[in-house]
Structure 1
Amino acid sequence: MKWIEISVTAERVVIDEVTTLFDTLTANGSIEEDIPEEPDKVRLVFYGDANIPEAAWQERVENELSRAKINYDEVTTKTVTDDDWYNSWQQYIQPTEILPGVIIKPAWQAYEASEGETIIEIDSELSFGTGAHETTQACAELMAKYGKEKKVCLDIGTGTAILLLIAHVLGIPELIGVDIDPEAAAQAQKNCKANAVDATVYCGDLDSEFHGKADLVMANLTVDPLKIVLPGIGKKMTKDGILIISGIIDERYEEIMPYITAHWQIKEELVKGPWHTLALVQAE
């Protein structure tokens, strides 16, 4: 498989703005590279779908940067292989303390645990789902607060199963993950096995695969799938269950709010960077 590598060279002061823009274009994360002899500048790299030609990606990114009024020096594109992509971002993902004393360790990185630390090892072919992203961190914080004494955790779009593994550390005994992507479901199963965690991971549609009820439901998705999930997910939850959603970027916050307020009450909201994460209960 091939990918389009897109690089933007710009002043360091606009890193957050460019990263936010990238987050709206791809779910694969971005890489920040220093530029020798130019400490005030940075190169930001992300990887896009190769079904879109290089020239089209370049035009799209340049148009988005101009529309956002972000000054930049250069945009370049090139086609790379899976191995190029995998090796490129992998070196930047480091062990992350996702909760106090709980470390997410990429499988390819060495880490010497301190006394009392709990290690969760994650292998993945995506940078998203390794614990480095703000949405994962915010989900973990709300899980630690609202997941106490919960019995069943359902993770919709489980990806690498990172949230299921955190739920296990929090002591939730029954863990269920669902993902429509066969590769993601397979990776989730591998990560659970590697961490000696007993979890059930389904590949397919939530309605057809899961027929029980959970008292903690996770949905770290993006706005479009959240619009589909929010009206009906309550039937998969206990009456006093907690739903934690994330993947809501600033630019689409107002767009998703009617879908939330129509069926849910907000208990708490966390904002990390441009991302919003909410703990919800069913509206009475």
Structure 2
Amino acid sequence: MFYDGSPMSKYFEISITVPSIAQEAIAWKLGELGHPQLVLSERHPEEAKDFATIKVYVHEKKDENPLASIEGGLDELASVLPEIRPYRLKQAVVEEEDWAHSWKKYWHPQRIGRHVVVKPTWETFEKEPGDLVLDIDPKQAFGTGTHPTTQLCLIEIENLFSACSPEKTRVFDVGTGSGILAIAAIKLGAQSALAVDTDPIAVEATLENSELNHVSEKIEVLEGGVEKLSGQAELVVVNILAEVIAELAPGLAKAVAPSGLLVASGIILARATLVIDAFSAEGLTLKSRSEMGDWVRLTFGVT
């Protein structure tokens, strides 16, 4: 948890009703504003075919007036993406205990790619032959598998590993969040993984999820960023904002082994060129890309 307050701690619940086509762009903006892991989306086609609702939960100690800061951020986004209008914001207050359970009702087991199934720890799931189930409790770290950026990475990792023998593959997961990508890589056959994140909540979540999935002996988890990477890896995955990826490109590129690949996600389509140019300047070549909604996954190799 972000805070160890008393049972009377409160959260602001910000409901943002937006055009459905703009939902992912707004989710990206909320992440930029510091709410990447607290975004819940629900569609109500029977009520409004063209609209969706995004809910953000913000602890009262984190922001005393989150409605104003979020509205300001959306106004800024609308200046360059007018299609996100019209949007409506509503604020309510919920008790910590209510918040702790309310977000869980939106998340259920989800099949991603051919064999990967992401399952919240509080749900049951009947496996089919060949299924690889990831038991994930994100706490308050990003990485439930519901967001397109995570799905794009999971699909690419599965595809890459199905085309080779990953038993000798070392993986670096930068901005690991819940640890979902590092855990998936190990369960898909990688030899070892190093997962890093600057958020101590993410570090805690990754350690716990590694234990839940019985892969903790193969995953090293460190608090920090690119500076924590030691040596090189055959596969580097990074699922954070495009601007941050571009800034970290020199360090990320150095971490890729001569025959390795770098998978980058968290990139809104409009910023794909920013990331491509950043890695091109470091000697990496774009090998493939895949899009999902407003998001893109880019895979690079050493030139």
Q: Is the 8 A contact 1:17 1:70 kept in 2?
A: yes
Shifted more, 140-149 versus 162-171: the winner is 140-149
In the TM superposition, residue 64 of structure 1 has moved relative to its aligned partner by 4.9
The one-letter amino acid paired with 1:15 is S
Shifted more, 110-119 versus 167-176: the winner is 110-119
Q: What are the residue-to-residue correspondences of 1:24-63 with 2, within 5 Å?
A: 24-26=29-31, 27-28=36-37, 29-34=39-44, 38-40=47-49, 42-47=51-56, 49=58, 50-51=62-63, 53-57=65-69, 59-60=71-72, 63=75
Q: What are the residue-to-residue correspondences of 1:200-239 with 2, within 5 Å?
A: 200-207=220-227, 209-239=228-258
Report Cα offsets for 1:120-173 as digits up to 9, x if no partner.
100112474111111111112221233433420111111111111211122111
Q: What are the residue-to-residue correspondences of 1:25-174 with 2, within 5 Å?
A: 25-26=30-31, 27-28=36-37, 29-34=39-44, 38-40=47-49, 42-47=51-56, 49=58, 50-51=62-63, 53-57=65-69, 59-60=71-72, 63-64=75-76, 67=79, 68-72=82-86, 74-126=88-140, 128-147=142-161, 148-150=164-166, 151-174=169-192
Q: Distance in 1 between matches of 2:223 and 2:200?
A: 6
Structure 2, unaligned runs of 5 or more = 4-9
Could you say which residue in structure 2 is the equivalent of 1:269?
Answer: 289
Count residues in correspondence: 278
In the TM superposition, residue 72 of structure 1 has moved relative to its aligned partner by 3.4
- Residues 271 and 52 of structure 1: CA distance in aligned 2, closer, same or farther (over 3 Å): farther
Q: Is the 8 A contact 2:170 2:192 kept in 1?
A: yes
Structure 1, unaligned runs of 5 or more = none
Q: Distance in 2 between matches of 1:41 and 1:127?
A: 29
Q: Is the 8 A contact 1:9 1:41 kept in 2?
A: no
Q: Is the 8 A contact 2:141 2:178 kept in 1?
A: no
Q: Is the 8 A contact 1:93 1:127 kept in 2?
A: no
The one-letter amino acid paired with 1:21 is I
The one-letter amino acid paired with 2:246 is K
Could you say which residue in structure 1 is the equivalent of 2:214?
Answer: 196
Could you say which residue in structure 1 is the equivalent of 2:15?
Answer: 7
Q: Is the 8 A contact 1:58 1:76 kept in 2?
A: no
TM-score where L is the length of structure 2: 0.81
Q: Distance in 1 between matches of 2:241 and 2:70?
A: 24
- Residues 52 and 224 of structure 1: CA distance in aligned 2, closer, same or farther (over 3 Å): farther
Could you say which residue in structure 1 is the equivalent of 2:274?
Answer: 255
- Identity %, equivalent residues: 28
Report Cα offsets for 1:70-101 as digits up to 9, x if no partner.
44373212344544443232111111112322
Secondary structure of the corresponding residue to residue 245 of structure 2: helix
Q: Distance in 2 between matches of 1:244 and 1:79?
A: 39
Q: Is the 8 A contact 2:41 2:55 kept in 1?
A: yes
When the two chains are superposed, the root-mean-square deviation of aligned CA atoms in Å is 2.5
- Residues 3 and 20 of structure 1: CA distance in aligned 2, closer, same or farther (over 3 Å): farther
The one-letter amino acid paired with 2:22 is E
Secondary structure of the corresponding residue to residue 267 of structure 1: strand
- Residues 221 and 55 of structure 1: CA distance in aligned 2, closer, same or farther (over 3 Å): closer
- Residues 44 and 149 of structure 1: CA distance in aligned 2, closer, same or farther (over 3 Å): same
Q: Distance in 2 between matches of 1:73 and 1:232?
A: 39
Shifted more, 190-199 versus 53-62: the winner is 53-62
- Which residue, out of 17, 20, 31, partners 2:25? 20
Q: Distance in 1 between matches of 2:108 and 2:30?
A: 24
- Residues 145 and 21 of structure 1: CA distance in aligned 2, closer, same or farther (over 3 Å): same
Q: Distance in 2 between matches of 1:117 and 1:40?
A: 34
Could you say which residue in structure 2 is the equivalent of 1:243?
Answer: 262
